[in-house]
A and B are shown apart, each in its own frame.
Chain A
Amino acid sequence: DTEVTQTPKHLVMGMTNKKSLKCEQHMGHRAMYWYKQKAKKPPELMFVYSYEKLSINESVPSRFSPECPNSSLLNLHLHALQPEDSALYLCASSSLGTSDSNEQFFGPGTRLTVL
């Protein structure tokens, strides 16, 4: 299985809502990533988990809260978002090692709209 899945595909939420984005992979990868992508721009890294521990947080506002319950799952909890947080949220995973390309495999993304 060489697939990263993300749910939901689309999400519309109000600024007072709490929602969660989910990501799952079964490739045995021990690194997982969250990216935010605005239209016509490259993805921006938000968080990196290595061996289920948060290793990189790119100064993301606390209204975004990541969680890695096990090696296959990655969640992004959303609370009190702003309209400017509307974007495509991409999850990715990769193997961990020093001798391989360790390319990141991306999921299809969740298109988030904040009203």
Chain B
Amino acid sequence: AQKITQTQPGMFVQEKEAVTLDCTYDTSDQSYGLFWYKQPSSGEMIFLIYQGSYDEQNATEGRYSLNFQKARKSANLVISASQLGDSAMYFCAMREGPGSGSRLTFGEGTQLTVNP
């Protein structure tokens, strides 16, 4: 069974600094996808970034990058130049298999607070 572990219940960062949110996963599948979502207090889940298990390069989307270390089964999210609006809950998630229409397994989340 697949499992996602986020070991940081809460993180604090100063505005304009970079922060890394940790995520490790466990799966026996060779093909899988890793996602990061942001959930502000309003409740909506916002897709941030995706990494496929066969992607050789780390994914980047603007200020977000994913530090993918396949051998260590980790997929950490790096947010550069933090902004006050980055304060939210962040979830790491995994989808097993190459397609969609299947379940996402979420980690417990990390609550990020950006201080001015």
- Name A residues whose Cβ lies closer than 8 Å to a Cβ of B: 30-31, 40-43, 45, 48, 50, 55-56, 58, 88, 90, 92, 94-109, 111
Contacts and interface: CB of A to CB of B under 8 A. Distances in A.
B25 interface: no
A59 to B, nearest CB: 12
Interface in B30-66: 33, 35, 37, 42-47, 50, 52
B91 interface: yes
Contacts of A43: 45, 91, 104, 106
Q: How large is the interface on B (under 10, 10 to 19, 20 to 34, 35 or more residues)?
A: 20 to 34
A16 B102 CA distance: 33
Given A98-B98, A103-B35, A56 B103 contact: yes
A100 B98 CA distance: 8
A42 B103 CA distance: 13
B86 interface: no
Contact of B44 (A40, A50, A100, A107): A107
